Structure 1
Amino acid sequence: MPRPAPFRRLSRRARLGAATVAALVTGTAVFGIGQATAEHSVPRTDKEIPNLTRVQDQITAYYGDTVTADGQHYASPRSNYARQVRGIEAKARSYLTKELAKPAARSGKHTRPAIVLDMDDTTLLTYNYELQVGFHFTPESQDKYLATTDMDPVFGMNRLVNWAHSKGAEVFFLTGRKEAQREWSVRNLKNVGYGVPLDLTHVYLKNKENPPPYLPCGADCTTTEFKSGTRQHIESLGYHIVANFGDQYSDLNGGFGDRTFKMPNPMYYLP
């Protein structure tokens, strides 16, 4: 998921609080913004705040940080992160195997099954970018990276997506990346093996300059409003969303999807 404007970065990312450690170790939900502990919304002493360096070390260990000869950092396919992702994908494949085997005729006008997927840290892994910028997102650094570099696929997600499409699921990508990043995003998806339609009708990005008429909130949509409103639009076109994948709860909230699959991401948090 792309991060918000710089003046909100500290509260929105909330990536180095106690909730991050909990999510990193157990894979459970991240606490709310600024919630250092379950008891105190504001830390009472420094002892309630995890050490920044130690949390960063835990994050890189979780991803199985691998450094190439040119100094680039990548996640390891043998990491605990990759292991956790494989478990989620196995559950998704088992569920989709049953759903996609059902008769095509469904109730009402929703006749064709579909899956919806976020992009950053759901289908494309931002780990290398995050390490390059020291977990310090800026719109400028993201633009520079996406224009010149392909992110790796989240381990196994390209295979899962291609398999679901081969079994009859229409595939839609729904990301908070800005419309100006469309060409780079589509190029990246193609280059790392997502062999599904990637045209304007299958890849939805956030267009603040010309928001679509089906979003009542227009240019001021929250992430949940943008994503749930777009899923509602997809279903209005005659699709039935059987599964929705995202690394943030704001990717998944708001309905219009039978089942959600939360991908792990201890690097940042977006409400």
Structure 2
Amino acid sequence: MFDNTVKRSTRKVAVLSAVVAAAVVAGGGLALADSAPRSDKQITNMTTEVANIKAYYGDTVDAAGEHWPSAQSNYAIQVGGIEGKAEKYLAGKAKHDGDEKKAIILDVDDTSLSTYNYELETTFVYNPVSNAQYIATKTMPAVFGMNDLATKAAAEGYTVFYITGRPESQRSYTEANLGAVGFPAAGAQNLFMKNKDNPPAYLPCGATCTTEQYKSGTRAHIESLGYRIVANFGDQQSDLAGGHADKTFKIPNPMYFIP
């Protein structure tokens, strides 16, 4: 699930911050907090961590050398459990909450569409050029079951909105990818993308919004159009923070962290 460039590049900052815990500026110098690792034994080896991620996703490799998560993986099982609870919740709300305009919100990357293959190709190191090329030339698969959840919600009367930090320049590719893997149609009215050159007036932070500000502000805008946001789905806490949704559902993603 952000400005795509910011999301991936800040991942490195976030990981580094997790390792050193925090840096405290005092007396003009930089001092590490007490929780910083005192030994290499306190830090997970990166080779081991990548192996763990691949095992969790049930890494499979096709004839072309592309990596895909497995539908039998622990990742797929965990996602399925979350979706089961969400579908039950949405069905109940659709049945009992009358005729008001109801909506659900979906983040795109690693909430709706899986970036797992791209992450493996780049060994979890984001590059804006390779990322843009990947989005323009490849079809990312749906996160297991999320296309079915969204389609079912639409049939129950929910309007499906997508809020992504991908830049506006990637709109056509994003719309096509979502449609190709079975999501309800995404277009100008329901797919919100980052537009740094011409940010919308409803975002006071303009081109400088954090992920939380951008996404919560966009949800507030959707509410101003008369919608009640019954559920908000995202793979990052920053996709979900800031209110403007009755309930949030966190999709697992151990590959990166976006503050």
**Which amino acid in structure 1 is aligned with residue 86 of structure 2?**
A
Structure 2 unaligned spans of 5+: 22-32
User: Within 2, Cα distance between the matches of 1:115 and 1:6?
Assistant: 25
User: Within 1, Cα distance between the matches of 2:61 and 2:199?
Assistant: 41
User: Within 2, Cα distance between the matches of 1:59 and 1:103?
Assistant: 40
Q: Does the 8 Å contact 1:118/1:245 carry over to 2?
A: yes
Q: Determine which of 52, 55, 66 is the counterpart of 2:60.
A: 66
Residue of structure 2 equivalent to 1:207: 195
Deviations 1:138-187 (A, max 9, x none): 11111000100010000011001000000000000000111111111001
Q: Does the 8 Å contact 2:61/2:67 carry over to 1?
A: yes
**Which amino acid in structure 2 is aligned with residue 56 of structure 1?**
V
Deviation at 1:34, TM superposition (A): 2.0
User: Within 2, Cα distance between the matches of 1:128 and 1:227?
Assistant: 25
Deviation at 1:103, TM superposition (A): 3.7
Spell out the pairing of 1:137-152 with structure 2 (5 A cutoff).
137-152=126-141
Deviation at 1:263, TM superposition (A): 0.2
Deviation at 1:134, TM superposition (A): 1.2
Residue of structure 2 equivalent to 1:166: 155
**Which amino acid in structure 1 is aligned with residue 208 of structure 2?**
D
Q: From the superposition, tell whether residues 154 and 5 of structure 1 become closer, same or farther in structure 2 (CA, over 3 Å).
A: closer
Is 1:119 aligned with 2:108? yes
Q: Determine which of 143, 165, 178 is the counterpart of 1:176.
A: 165
Q: Which runs of 4+ in 1 moved over 3 A?
A: 5-9
Deviations 1:79-106 (A, max 9, x none): 000000000000001111111112435x
Residue of structure 2 equivalent to 1:108: none
Residue of structure 1 equivalent to 2:6: 4
User: Within 2, Cα distance between the matches of 1:176 and 1:5?
Assistant: 8
Deviation at 1:44, TM superposition (A): 1.8
Deviation at 1:239, TM superposition (A): 0.2
Deviation at 1:221, TM superposition (A): 0.1
User: Within 1, Cα distance between the matches of 2:141 and 2:127?
Assistant: 20
Deviation at 1:4, TM superposition (A): 1.5
Residue of structure 2 equivalent to 1:268: 256
3-state SS, counterpart of residue 18 of structure 2: coil
Q: From the superposition, tell whether residues 176 and 139 of structure 1 become closer, same or farther in structure 2 (CA, over 3 Å).
A: same
Q: Does the 8 Å contact 2:119/2:125 carry over to 1?
A: yes
Spell out the pairing of 1:185-264 with structure 2 (5 A cutoff).
185-194=174-183, 196-264=184-252
Deviation at 1:35, TM superposition (A): 4.8
Q: From the superposition, tell whether residues 60 and 6 of structure 1 become closer, same or farther in structure 2 (CA, over 3 Å).
A: closer
3-state SS, counterpart of residue 223 of structure 2: helix
Percent sequence identity is 51
User: Within 2, Cα distance between the matches of 1:115 and 1:9?
Assistant: 27
3-state SS, counterpart of residue 265 of structure 1: coil
3-state SS, counterpart of residue 4 of structure 1: helix
Q: From the superposition, tell whether residues 5 and 243 of structure 1 become closer, same or farther in structure 2 (CA, over 3 Å).
A: closer
**Which amino acid in structure 2 is aligned with residue 130 of structure 1?**
E
Task: Give the structure-2-normalised TM-score.
Answer: 0.91
Deviations 1:209-247 (A, max 9, x none): 100000000000000000000000000000000000000
Deviations 1:28-60 (A, max 9, x none): xxxxx42567x9542222111100100000000
**Which amino acid in structure 2 is aligned with residue 262 of structure 1?**
K
Q: Determine which of 24, 29, 34 is the counterpart of 2:18.
A: 34
User: Within 2, Cα distance between the matches of 1:119 and 1:62?
Assistant: 21
**Which amino acid in structure 2 is aligned with residue 118 of structure 1?**
D
3-state SS, counterpart of residue 95 of structure 2: coil
Q: Does the 8 Å contact 1:66/1:73 carry over to 2?
A: yes
User: Within 2, Cα distance between the matches of 1:36 and 1:9?
Assistant: 14
3-state SS, counterpart of residue 174 of structure 1: strand
Is 1:48 aligned with 2:37? no
Q: Does the 8 Å contact 2:59/2:69 carry over to 1?
A: yes
User: Within 1, Cα distance between the matches of 2:64 and 2:133?
Assistant: 19
Q: Does the 8 Å contact 1:85/1:155 carry over to 2?
A: yes
